[in-house]
Structure 1
Amino acid sequence: MTRNWQRFFTAERPRAVRRGRGPGDRSLIVVESDEGPRLTLWDAERGTVRPLSELTSGDLAQAVLTSDGGQVLSLHDDNGSEVGHVHATRLDGGASRDLTPDLPPYTLRGMDVAARADRAVITCAAEDGFSLWLLSTDGSAAPELLLRSTNEAWNGLISADAGLACVDTTDHNPGVRRFAVTVVDTATGAALGCLSDGPEAPVRGVRFSPVAGDDRILVATERTGFARPCVWHPTRGTRIDFDAPHVRGDLVPLDWSEDATRVLAVHVDGGIHRVMEADLESGELRLLDHPPGAYFEPDVADTHCHQWASHYGPGDTVRLLHQRFDSPLRVLHTGAPENLPGPELFPQQDLDGVRCRSSTIRSADGTSLQLWWARPRDAAGPVPLVLQLHGGPNLVTVDSYDPSAQAWLDNGVAYASLNYRGSVTFGRRFREGFMPAIGDRELEDIEAAVRWLVAEGVADPGKVFVTGASYGGFLSLLAVGRLPGLFAGALAHVPMADWLAGYEDMNPALRAACASFFGARPEDDVERFVRASPITYVADVVAPVWINQGTHDTRTAPHQVRRYVEALRAAGGKVVVDWYSGGHETSGRAKALSEQSRMLGLVHAQVSSDSHSNVK
């Protein structure tokens, strides 16, 4: 029987809904099209939906609306390199305008718009370090430097009236990614305060109060070892903490209500999401009624803290963004289902997918790990399996729609995705548990996951494949080198294969992160980088390898991939490389479908040619 697995890729679907900061209820919807991300403007007050077909350039997946709703801000780079300048593009047909023409090219690590002023802040990483800039979105003033540091500084935010800005800084603890929140006066650039919970517990900014004149900031703290909401009043030096001792796991703050009396948060326990609302006056924490699934997805190393996130609408409305492995993003208003945001644009389709289960397993040292997994429909006994490893490492796999997972399952291949040590939303100890011996703990977790899946009768021990992108691609290559015989093949997208060769070619933001993870730079301790590099173990690789690599990637640069491929071939290994013109991210449904078809062909060919067991 011919399977129509392509249906999981061909449906046009939203990737994110990002509400504008200004008056009214306008949102940018990021739509996954054949060619890549496209934008749609949703004006909920007027009940209109308008595809922004004239907006085709820039990093549209990270774009934001200006306060008047008349412009879109986005990073314009070279073919997905993630290095460029922020442009403002008018939605009335006007030309795109570079807002920072005199700055050297930079990587964006934060962008936020004032709700009631023509101002925005961007956080930049360049060769000279990290900086926070105040921009005039109407072109009336030149960019103003608010803060500069040689240490990591991310996630700049701006108050509703543009009087204050804040940024997550590491000046209090250089070289360690545990942030504090520093507030500056946008008129003078003077630092007004810094919220730090000490060297062990990071603090991250979420959003200034949406009420004009209210300079309080919603932040996430980790005084308990797990994320908790906190409201900080920097000019008064006061704070309200929601320690929630009865709640196990992270309680991640997402948004303020419009009147700044309530906070929306998601409780994550073992990877399962429960949406809650905190009342600032009573201190009450209330669980909202909603179906199982994911309600936000962290993206800690990009322009925004989350790829997509639930948020407040007007008045008392809670606008929940909901996904599952088998169900694309939709909007639920305070628990009442509502199509997003017009059936003519996003028809609700029954894709007949398979839901993933969540299980807790144990690593070699007893550490609890969360594993998503699913069998193909009507599977009888163990079958071939693909183990997916997310990137980051400080990211996480949530219960969100995954056409690749559904394609594997539709083709008789079991699927699993592991949240290994280094993943977020499992507390600080787990998030930092992979450092500084990069790869060691992750490989223990990966091996534990494979053995559990084999013992449970899900996976055929001789037909287990490993895949991932970025850091997940790195772990895929490292696994077939340091765990030879465990996998029947590796499918690595934009991997880091040689940390030493890749370090100097990284964009500055990634170089700083790399040094933080390793606890050193290559010149300080070269052996750490050698030990962590898949190229070190090419002589031990027995499984075939496929690598999918972008030519303009500044995170995992092409040069280090070429070195790995040459070394593996010289050692007698089997490796196939597919190059594409672009950066670190796959762009568009058509390319994703092509890559999935390629992987299916490689896996089916390997399964057909090799039936011996690899697990002893």
Structure 2
Amino acid sequence: MSNDWQRFFTADRPHAVRRGRGPGDRSLIVVESEDGPRLSLWEAGRGTVRPLDQVTSGDLVQAVLSSDGGQILALHDDNGSEVGHVHATGLDDDASRDLTPDLPPYVLRGIDVAGRADRTVITCAAEDGFSLWLLSTDGSAEPQLLFRSPHEAWNGLVSTDGTRASVDTTDHNPGVRRFAVTVVDTATGEVLDRLTDGPEAPVRGVRFSPVPGDDRILVATERTGFARPCVWHPIRGTRVDIDAPHLEGDLVPLDWSDDATRILAVHVDAGIHRVMEADLESGTLRPLDHPPGAYFEPDVANAHLHLWASHYGPGSTVRLLHQRFDSPLRVLHTTGPDSAAVPVLFPQLDLDGVPFTSNPVRSTDGTYVQLWWARPRHAKAPGPLILNLHGGPNMVSVDSYHPAAQAWLDNGVAYASLNYRGSVTFGRRFREGFMPMIGDRELEDIEAAVRWLVAEGVADPDKVFVTGASYGGFLSLLSVGRLPGLFAGALAHVPIADWLTGYEDMNPALRAAWSSFFGAKPEDGLERFVRASPITYVADVVAPVWINQATHDTRTPPKQVRHYEEALRAVGGDVVVDWYSGGHETTGRVKALAEQSRMLGLVQAALRQQPWSQGVL
């Protein structure tokens, strides 16, 4: 086996570029280095990029700049546990200050900074529920509680002048993951208004107007069943909806221009991205000129709505964050619909990767799911294939760069990534299509994808492997239990293997989410949790199983993985668990490369019919 594939892991890979809210034009660049995320400061007006090597602590992937641009705000936790406190760290020193020293440890579910005031809001989830706090980063004021609820509340935002804040809440519909946007006065905590489109249609906050004194807020609504931008004025009680009835699929709002006259959005049609700009004064909606690829990636259960997203720069500038399966993130510059996109940051690396194709696949009940796939270069016959299942479940596989995908292809293994029911950007019905019988619809979609790949001559039916992280790891384990014989092996990263034990140990934010997805807590819906648990089906597993599990993970806790390992081994299953010190996310190129090498060895062993538990050379 050649080591040429390692080139896909060895270069520094940008994760995100996140523009600061304050005056000027400063942006944080998050890059995956050898040993984890590292930050740099991009000052586009000066054309400079400065490494922030002194800032090494905290969840740097979710970090933001303070309003004055002089501090990094990030959650500091215990070895990746995602439970801790937000700290402020100066750009020019490594002094770190806890901004909420008197609060019990919490999970961060939102952080936003006022552009023209020393104000930051954080959304916290703890054992006593969900809360929204107003912080002063210079230490001049104590943390102020703005909102508290026993029900899910995420994604707190703050207005540019710091006088208003919003949070996505479920008080209007407790126990159901369909948010409304609640706006409060930061001086008093008084609720000023709430925007809801009824119990069926969620509303999510995106960003307050960048103009000081302008109380309008950009939100995403789903009145039609698909995401659409809406500009809401909570004080006046007015709204402007961009319905775009001529478009099929989601139109996801990302940002608005510094003068608050234009909205940047991405139309997602069957997984394909098309960036558009809405002019609020003329009412026009026009596509921008850009190359094929992905321009944002939705997130779930973190401090931001997106892992990375295109956004506005100063004036009429649009910064398109662009990726493809064969091309790492780069920043393209354009000034509107009539301007060609020009690279300004991270010139595209020529790593000689393989581009991917998107295809619709008809599932068991006739629902179409979307599949990204690629054959190894020069492949002429069906061969081994890796089917990747993204996490979430309310996340999505977009046309973005994946070193692992290219590594498999470089080693003669085809690769596919499935957007099963539960994925976002395909409308509300699709996103919620996995509930409340967790796993049932997803397995139908997975089986349909494998059948399609075999029928198209991409995969040898006896050499298909399944992999995924988090919820994708859970589905990998569930697949080899409930679809025995379909897969030649499962490679599961930080999975849920036993929902009952996992629910007891996971952090409070996740417990609230999963009781919503299941439509019940374990004591009220025991049969649903048992049916969805891979541990229930260990006696039916015939394929080898590898699990890569973290010691401090509070999303997919360690104990439930140990239970699964013991149960599968007790019935004679071929199972291997590799443990690493850390939390839910794998960080650092060195570790990612080691994990990929491990998986390549396991797949090669399986193709030789060598049991994994006997050791893989």
TM-score by length of 1: 0.98
Aligned position for 1:578: 578
Aligned position for 1:97: 97
Aligned position for 1:333: 333
Shift of 1:372: 0.2
Q: Aligned equivalents of 1:528 and 1:340: distance in 2?
A: 50
Aligned position for 1:19: 19
Aligned position for 2:492: 492
Preserved contact between residue 465 and residue 489 of structure 1 (Cα < 8 Å): yes
Aligned position for 1:380: 380
Q: Aligned equivalents of 1:456 and 1:383: distance in 2?
A: 12
Show CA shifts across 1:126-154 (max 9, x none).
00000000000111000000000000000
Q: Aligned equivalents of 2:307 and 2:503: distance in 1?
A: 26
Preserved contact between residue 3 and residue 411 of structure 1 (Cα < 8 Å): no
User: Per the alignment, in what secondary structure is the counterpart of residue 308 of structure 1?
Assistant: strand
Preserved contact between residue 333 and residue 343 of structure 2 (Cα < 8 Å): no
Q: Aligned equivalents of 2:239 and 2:299: distance in 1?
A: 26
Show CA shifts across 1:525-571 (max 9, x none).
11110000000000000000000000000000000000000000001
Shift of 1:281: 1.3
Structure 2 counterparts to residues 451-490 of structure 1, below 5 A:
451-490=451-490
Preserved contact between residue 20 and residue 69 of structure 2 (Cα < 8 Å): yes
Show CA shifts across 1:59-79 (max 9, x none).
000000011110000000000
Aligned position for 1:175: 175
Gaps of 5+ in 1: 612-616
Shift of 1:347: 6.1
Aligned position for 1:567: 567
Aligned position for 1:303: 303
The one-letter code of the counterpart of 1:319 is R
The one-letter code of the counterpart of 2:427 is G
Aligned position for 1:83: 83
Aligned position for 2:615: none
- Please say if 1:278 is aligned against 2:267: no
Q: Aligned equivalents of 2:35 and 2:506: distance in 1?
A: 26
Shift of 1:610: 7.7
Shift of 1:2: 2.6
Aligned position for 1:593: 593
TM-score by length of 2: 0.97
Structure 2 counterparts to residues 239-318 of structure 1, below 5 A:
239-318=239-318
Aligned position for 2:161: 161
Preserved contact between residue 262 and residue 279 of structure 1 (Cα < 8 Å): yes
Shift of 1:300: 2.5
Identity %: 82
Q: Aligned equivalents of 1:16 and 1:233: distance in 2?
A: 30
Aligned position for 2:609: 609
Preserved contact between residue 290 and residue 341 of structure 2 (Cα < 8 Å): no
Q: Aligned equivalents of 1:42 and 1:546: distance in 2?
A: 40
Show CA shifts across 1:444-468 (max 9, x none).
0000000000000000000000000
User: Per the alignment, in what secondary structure is the counterpart of residue 215 of structure 2?
Assistant: coil
Aligned position for 2:614: none
Shift of 1:337: 5.0
Shift of 1:321: 0.3
Q: Aligned equivalents of 2:342 and 2:91: distance in 1?
A: 27
Shift of 1:48: 1.5
- Please say if 1:353 is aligned against 2:322: no
Preserved contact between residue 3 and residue 410 of structure 1 (Cα < 8 Å): no
User: Per the alignment, in what secondary structure is the counterpart of residue 539 of structure 2?
Assistant: helix
The one-letter code of the counterpart of 2:387 is L
Q: Aligned equivalents of 1:13 and 1:448: distance in 2?
A: 33
Q: Aligned equivalents of 2:252 and 2:418: distance in 1?
A: 21
User: Per the alignment, in what secondary structure is the counterpart of residue 14 of structure 2?
Assistant: strand
- Please say if 1:449 is aligned against 2:449: yes
- Please say if 1:419 is aligned against 2:410: no
Shift of 1:95: 1.1
Q: Aligned equivalents of 2:266 and 2:411: distance in 1?
A: 34
Structure 2 counterparts to residues 94-243 of structure 1, below 5 A:
95-243=95-243
The one-letter code of the counterpart of 1:68 is D
Aligned position for 1:321: 321
Q: Aligned equivalents of 1:588 and 1:357: distance in 2?
A: 28
Q: Aligned equivalents of 1:262 and 1:99: distance in 2?
A: 34
Show CA shifts across 1:211-241 (max 9, x none).
0000000000000000000000000000000
The one-letter code of the counterpart of 2:514 is C
Shift of 1:280: 0.7
Preserved contact between residue 330 and residue 347 of structure 2 (Cα < 8 Å): no
Q: Aligned equivalents of 1:27 and 1:184: distance in 2?
A: 28
The one-letter code of the counterpart of 2:242 is F
Q: Aligned equivalents of 1:442 and 1:599: distance in 2?
A: 24
Q: Aligned equivalents of 2:326 and 2:251: distance in 1?
A: 25
- Please say if 1:517 is aligned against 2:524: no
Q: Aligned equivalents of 1:610 and 1:465: distance in 2?
A: 15
Show CA shifts across 1:472-527 (max 9, x none).
00000000000000000000000000000010100001000010010000011111
Aligned position for 2:407: 407
The one-letter code of the counterpart of 1:50 is R
Aligned position for 1:614: none
Shift of 1:609: 2.0
The one-letter code of the counterpart of 2:560 is Q
User: Per the alignment, in what secondary structure is the counterpart of residue 608 of structure 2?
Assistant: helix
The one-letter code of the counterpart of 1:301 is A
Q: Aligned equivalents of 2:347 and 2:132: distance in 1?
A: 41
The one-letter code of the counterpart of 2:156 is G
Shift of 1:608: 1.9
Q: Aligned equivalents of 1:13 and 1:474: distance in 2?
A: 27
Preserved contact between residue 363 and residue 445 of structure 1 (Cα < 8 Å): yes
The one-letter code of the counterpart of 2:524 is D
Shift of 1:380: 1.2
Shift of 1:349: 2.5
Q: Aligned equivalents of 1:440 and 1:468: distance in 2?
A: 17
Preserved contact between residue 361 and residue 369 of structure 1 (Cα < 8 Å): yes
User: Per the alignment, in what secondary structure is the counterpart of residue 302 of structure 2?
Assistant: coil
The one-letter code of the counterpart of 2:27 is S
Shift of 1:348: 4.2
User: Per the alignment, in what secondary structure is the counterpart of residue 609 of structure 1?
Assistant: coil
Q: Aligned equivalents of 1:201 and 1:13: distance in 2?
A: 37
User: Per the alignment, in what secondary structure is the counterpart of residue 502 of structure 2?
Assistant: helix
The one-letter code of the counterpart of 2:126 is A
Q: Aligned equivalents of 2:577 and 2:344: distance in 1?
A: 39
Aligned position for 2:394: 394
Q: Aligned equivalents of 1:135 and 1:206: distance in 2?
A: 20
User: Per the alignment, in what secondary structure is the counterpart of residue 505 of structure 2?
Assistant: coil
Q: Aligned equivalents of 1:604 and 1:29: distance in 2?
A: 37
Q: Aligned equivalents of 2:559 and 2:609: distance in 1?
A: 32
User: Per the alignment, in what secondary structure is the counterpart of residue 53 of structure 1?
Assistant: coil
User: Per the alignment, in what secondary structure is the counterpart of residue 394 of structure 1?
Assistant: coil
Preserved contact between residue 55 and residue 94 of structure 2 (Cα < 8 Å): no
